Amino acid sequence: MAPARDRRTGFSRRRQYSTFFGYVLAVAGAVVGAALLAASIFNPPAFSAARMAVASVTAPVASVLDAGVDAVASVPEAIGTWFHVHGENATLRAEAKRHRALLTKARVIAYDNRRLRALLRVRDRTPEPVVAARLVASTASSGRRFALLDAGRVQGVTPGMPVRGPEGLVGRVLESGPFAARVLLITDPDSLVPVRRTRDGMPAIAAGRGDGRVDIRSVNAANVRFAAGDMFVTSGTGGLYAPGVPVAQVEATGSDSVLAIPFAAPDSLDFALVERPFMPLPPPPPPRAAAPPATPSAPAPAR
């Protein structure tokens, strides 16, 4: 039998209640959306607090679901790795043999570096990690680039703390709630990271583009040439990011400003490390000049 074209509720109480509750939910959703839009425009701090409160509730649930999806997705990868393990083993052995000379040279350089730093009494300051947390969400299709971390003020996470992954720098904490934090990624247009080139120490700025990449801009000179494959790490300038953290690699040769690909991709990261802001050690006090020896006072004349 063909379905009836008359969609009026008629005398059916069930259809009447369904239609009524549908209208109520639609009106309530529109009112809540308008209220949130007004709060974000006229009272951003209140909207930020409400957003982080909701994120603190949804972040643990998203973390559990993300762990389950990762476990299921890892099964085909594990099966494929088992079939190709012999070929990968031979490739890795050949690569280790080729890099043995470079490894020996690097060890000699590292030993000389430690000896010279000890002679110069140079002290290293490593930022203390606060917590390792899961990145449960990130904006991959928006002009603004944020990520959600399933750790907040209860775990000691506060705004301004740098966030890094195993491959390199991820960003910094922008907002923190009780059990969740919002991370500003280095690819966001509002992100500026002081960096230096690894091969010669040239300072530069890594500015986010909003499309998953960053711009590397020279700061001290004009007509600076960048080569494809140049790697940049944090310089430690500004006191927020610790020096030596990998940031990005230049995509193509250019001058003054070039595109670079970040080492850490938030979309593929499971966990990230939240660290305390890096503060450079104060310079040592200048050595005090030796006081001149006291001269003996002349004896008083006898009267």
Tokens of 52: 């982080």
Residue 246 CB coordination number (10 Å): 20
Q: What residue segments make up the domains of the chain, in order of their start?
A: 84-121, 130-275
State the virtual CA torsion across 88, 90, 91, 95 in degrees, nearest 10.
130
DSSP string of 25-85, one letter each residue: HHHHHHHHHHHHHHHHHH-HHHHHHHHHHHHHHHHHHHHHHHHHHHHHHHHHHHHHHHHTH
Output phi, psi for 61, to 5 deg: -65, -45
Question: 188-207: b or e for each residue (b if 16 or more CB lie within 10 Å)?
Answer: beebebbbbbeeeebebbbb
In the numeric block, the tokens 């959703």 are attached to: 29
Residue-by-residue pLDDT tens, the chain, 303 positions: 455 555 555 556 777 777 877 888 888 888 777 777 776 777 777 667 777 777 777 777 777 777 777 777 777 777 777 777 777 788 888 888 888 888 888 888 888 887 887 777 656 666 677 888 888 877 766 678 888 888 889 899 999 899 998 899 999 999 888 888 999 999 999 999 999 999 888 899 999 988 889 999 988 777 888 999 999 999 988 888 988 899 999 999 988 889 999 998 877 788 889 999 887 555 556 666 655 665 655 555 555
CATH topology of domain 130-275: Thrombin, subunit H (2.40.10)
Residue 274 CB coordination number (10 Å): 25
